[in-house]
Structure 1
Amino acid sequence: MSHEECETTVVKDCYCPACQGDKATTTLLLTKIPYFRELIIMNLYCEVCGNRDAQVSFGGSIQDEGQRITLTVRCSEDLNRQIVKSDSATLFFQTLDLEIPRSTQQGKISTLEGILQTTVNQLTQQQAERLRSGDVDNFHRCRAVIDTINRWINNAEIKSENETPGIDNSSDFPFEVILDDPAGNSYIENFQAPKRDPQLTHTPYRRTPQQDAVLGLQPSFDTEKNTEHTDSKALRYKIHACEDERFEPTEKCVPKDEIMSFPTTCPSCRCPTETNMCTTSIPHFQSVILMCMLCSNCGYRSNDVQGNGGAISERGTRITLNVTDMVDLSRDVLTSTTATIFIPEADLEVGGCSLGGVYSTVEGILTQIVGHLETTNPFAMGDSTIGRTGGKVRQEGELSYRFNDFLNKMKAMISGQHFPFQIILTDPLSNSFVGRRSGNSDVSVNERAMRDENLFLEEYERSHAENEALGLNDVMTEHDQLTP
């Protein structure tokens, strides 16, 4: 980090919330954590009363979607996970029926144990006041919460060495911690990075108009109440275009190869802009929807490929590609938002929500995966790689070394230095596609799969869980009839 990036700003004669004087000094540091976000670190010190306060605010952009992270705490080691709680995030402990709101412990980087200890201190400070005011019921509820948290912390400190790692015999475990951040700028450390942590669940969601207002954003066009009660701008366009005729999405309402534009809001600067949409067909595959946006105000650009331009497939598709040379790296690949990519050699699984709809080559997909992993694993860099786990100091740089070894293996695959390896693309809606090798004749997908020694195509019946996740179990078509 350069000297300019670490330059501090000192503001004197600030207001002190403790003594209500104006002799406090605030120090501001604008910096950036590698593979994470821009941060504003603020420290306040009052010479009169000695009050100190430190906060961390996020100086970067608000993410396109909110993020809900659920952690299952199975043992005392999980209390040492590092947590980034932005000033818009809330923490909820279902076992305790306890919520740490956005106004409490704002902009904090700590461990789960540190956040719990701060909660105990804050609750304990008000216990005497609760008794004096006669709020006995609330006093006992708070004491029960304090006692439970203290048992968690004390169990982490006195845990015996002969206990099985990763398993806690205490009846207080397991319990769940839910970190909900509408801005999408909060994180919980992944002990298995870069692999998937089975104790962590990430759920992205669209913000409500109320959440947008709290963040100081104008509610998106999708969430504003309208007389038609539609959820998307594209669907609203189709309704207007087809109000006098039978609804036929692909053929009439969304003409193929014709570019349509509709108004939207830039997720970066929140200024009005336009999104272009076009429906086209991939030969011997199906129709896809191409969407792109370029903001003329700030230059932000994005593109997306939706592989659901036609009807929903009756079966899912699993495509297995054996990458043996540079020609296989140049194959065209279309991944939809419902597809999952699995690379056995790297023990890596990436869901469709991570990359979104992407049309690229094998090399391009792998490059995007590496970039996404570097961006979403802030605890694999810097001081955060040194911590305590289960009362023992972790080997310095252990997480960083493991993460960097993984990235080096992925980059070797991209550069053609690691052959062969396998890519398994599973899509329950059959909206993903792997192209032919250069020089092959123009044949259909099934014929290509039979002739291509490195490409294998398999259709399978979707499970009940997959249908439930896609919302297909609630679709009722028994009484529908086709209109000639």
Structure 2
Amino acid sequence: MSETNKPETEQELPKLNAGNQLFQDLDANVSATEIESLCMNCYENGITKLLLTRIPHFKSVIVMAFECPHCGLKNSEVQSGEAVQEKGHKYEVRCTTKADLSRQIVRNNTASVSFPELDFSAPPATNSMLTTTEGLITRFIEDLSMDQEQRKEAVPEVYQAIETLLEKLRGTLELPEEEPELPTENAFTLVVDDPTGNSYVENLCTPKVDPKMKVSYYRRTRDQMIQLGLLNPDADEAEQEVQSGVQRSHVNMREEMEAAKNVFRAVRETSESNEVLSFPANCSSCNAPCDTRMQMVNIPHFQEVIIMSTTCDQCGYKSNEVKCGGAISAEGRRITLTLEDKDDLSRDILKSETSSFKVPELDLDMFAGTMGGKFTTIEGLLRQVHDELDRKASFIGGDSAESEKRGRFQEFLAKLDRAANGEIFPLTLTLDDPMAHSYIQNIYAPDPDPNMTTEDYERTFEQNEDLGLNDINVDSYEDPSATEAVPANSS
């Protein structure tokens, strides 16, 4: 892409903010912004046309086209304009039938793809793409098949290894039409791992949970932060030193814990004086600058939590999130409430970011981490789920969406809206939180609620692993040589 002239760029870019939001829909009446730029071929000034738009599946993109009237050089480029999500996303899909080969996939240029059964993995690509599972495998086959004739003569051992892999990849395309009774040798697992969280795989059972697909959310590692340009590799290297590649020194752990306590204490002091903390942030919808407000709230019969609220003046997007403090519970907690009338919809509910929840009567089942932490009413939670799914549902909007799937999804949203309006009863709401940081208001407190049951359970090894509790050391962490892990529920 051509290099832009800085003074001219600063004069033209303010035109982009003339609308209510920076990125407009693809069908909106928005014209491209023209910027005078330096041609890298003849070093004369040409014109770069810049269009910030939204495309289904790819969200926000920046389309650029350069043309030089002096030498005729033309160049075009598309870049992702979507903000990096709070956490990385990892999709694991078990493919056993032809239908799985037709799953649509949005692969961002930061996403890696792997097939564990084939011992094959592909690093992030140079460009983002919208494809299917079959299209993805076909592309890998085409790329690996290139120059095979030359390898056969020059390095026959490499040729043979690639041919073996190609046979396995071609075999994955020979899946049966119907679900087999016994596992087949051609079945495989597709893993799409994107640290930016902007890649996704189609759910064939929308709006229900796809039994063949597992979605996990994770915090990016330091190396991933550096690769995405979110962290300076040379900044505070001494403080970020890692022992054995994993554990920080106990000195740094103490400093971080003390800093967290100071922040928590500051929030508490401002809360006691009815003050609200405010700090600058960026809107997760249009990426425009906005303010996030934060205050501590004491929930009766539960604990203190920090509520954060963000409102964007540019696009009108609003969101709220809850951060729970306190010690890690020795057990997980599952809360089940039967909703019988409209009064139950006004109950306060705290859904932490580690909690999953479901309403079987609505075919609603949300994974942990899907919406972050929320403190609202049950009615408010149902409406937020409705709005989030309507705004962010993958492969439902656009001309390429199947009419049957779109119709089924619209029926689900209508049913969810009716439930929020109090037109569907009874309903059963289940909150399952392995950290026990979720809460539903007991309107009979301090007496037991006849419509609500609470069950404490021991976390599984997989749940402790996802929460990073299996290898935590709470007794002898001051001794760097201590390697014995202490069970998470011992605290």
Aligned to 1:389: none
Q: Is the 8 A contact 2:270 2:277 kept in 1?
A: no
- Secondary structure of 1:142's counterpart equals helix
Bigger RCO (CA 8 Å, 6+ sep):
1
Counterpart amino acid of 1:374? D
Aligned to 2:307: 290
2:371 to 348, 351, 355: 355
Flag structure 1 segments of 5+ consecutive residues without an equivalent: 16-25, 45-52, 244-248, 387-396
Aligned to 2:419: 413
Matching of residues 421-460 of structure 1 within 5 Å: 421-437=427-443, 443-444=445-446, 447-449=447-449, 453=450, 455-460=451-456
Whole-angstrom distance in 2 between the partners of 1:137 and 1:342: 53
Q: How many residues align?
A: 428
Aligned to 1:146: 166
Whole-angstrom distance in 1 between the partners of 2:146 and 2:199: 27
- How many angstroms does 1:71 deviate by? 1.4
Whole-angstrom distance in 1 between the partners of 2:108 and 2:62: 11
Whole-angstrom distance in 2 between the partners of 1:479 and 1:90: 38
Aligned to 1:85: 107
Counterpart amino acid of 1:421? L
- Secondary structure of 1:318's counterpart equals strand
Deviation per CA, 1:288-314: give whole Å up to 9, x if none.
Answer: 23345789999998643223x333344
Counterpart amino acid of 1:239? E
Matching of residues 20-169 of structure 1 within 5 Å: 31-34=53-56, 37-39=59-61, 57-103=79-125, 106-132=127-153, 134-153=154-173, 155-156=174-175, 159=176, 165-167=178-180
1:403 pairs with 2:412:
no
Aligned to 1:21: none
- How many angstroms does 1:143 deviate by? 1.4
- Secondary structure of 2:369's counterpart equals helix
Whole-angstrom distance in 1 between the partners of 2:131 and 2:454: 47
Whole-angstrom distance in 2 between the partners of 1:419 and 1:271: 41
Aligned to 1:281: 298
Alignment CA distance shift 1:43-1:333 (3 Å): same
- How many angstroms does 1:193 deviate by? 1.0
| TM-score of the aligned structures, taking structure 2 as reference length | 0.71
Aligned to 2:352: 336
Q: Is the 8 A contact 1:317 1:457 kept in 2?
A: no
Alignment CA distance shift 1:252-1:292 (3 Å): closer
Counterpart amino acid of 1:214? Q
Whole-angstrom distance in 2 between the partners of 1:102 and 1:383: 28
Deviation per CA, 1:191-221: give whole Å up to 9, x if none.
Answer: 1111111221222222334433433434599
Alignment CA distance shift 1:399-1:270 (3 Å): closer
Q: Is the 8 A contact 2:267 2:277 kept in 1?
A: no
Q: Is the 8 A contact 2:26 2:54 kept in 1?
A: no
Alignment CA distance shift 1:237-1:214 (3 Å): closer
Whole-angstrom distance in 1 between the partners of 2:470 and 2:125: 40
- Secondary structure of 2:207's counterpart equals coil
Matching of residues 223-234 of structure 1 within 5 Å: 226=239, 229=248
Aligned to 1:394: none
Q: Is the 8 A contact 1:34 1:381 kept in 2?
A: yes
Alignment CA distance shift 1:36-1:359 (3 Å): farther
Aligned to 2:457: 461
Whole-angstrom distance in 1 between the partners of 2:233 and 2:280: 8
- How many angstroms does 1:366 deviate by? 0.7
Deviation per CA, 1:41-65: give whole Å up to 9, x if none.
Answer: 7899xxxxxxxx9986433322222
- How many angstroms does 1:476 deviate by? 6.1
Q: Is the 8 A contact 1:218 1:270 kept in 2?
A: no
Aligned to 1:239: 258
- How many angstroms does 1:401 deviate by? 1.7
Flag structure 2 segments of 5+ consecutive residues without an equivalent: 1-24, 40-47, 67-74, 242-247, 478-491
- How many angstroms does 1:420 deviate by? 2.3
- How many angstroms does 1:188 deviate by? 0.9
Whole-angstrom distance in 2 between the partners of 1:225 and 1:301: 39
Alignment CA distance shift 1:457-1:225 (3 Å): farther
- Secondary structure of 1:67's counterpart equals strand
- Secondary structure of 1:385's counterpart equals coil
> Which has the larger displacement, 211-220 or 79-88?
211-220
Whole-angstrom distance in 2 between the partners of 1:235 and 1:30: 45
Matching of residues 189-338 of structure 1 within 5 Å: 189-218=202-231, 226=239, 229=248, 236=255, 238-239=257-258, 257-258=271-272, 278-291=295-308, 303-307=320-324, 309-338=325-354
- How many angstroms does 1:36 deviate by? 6.2
> Which has the larger displacement, 53-62 or 65-74?
53-62
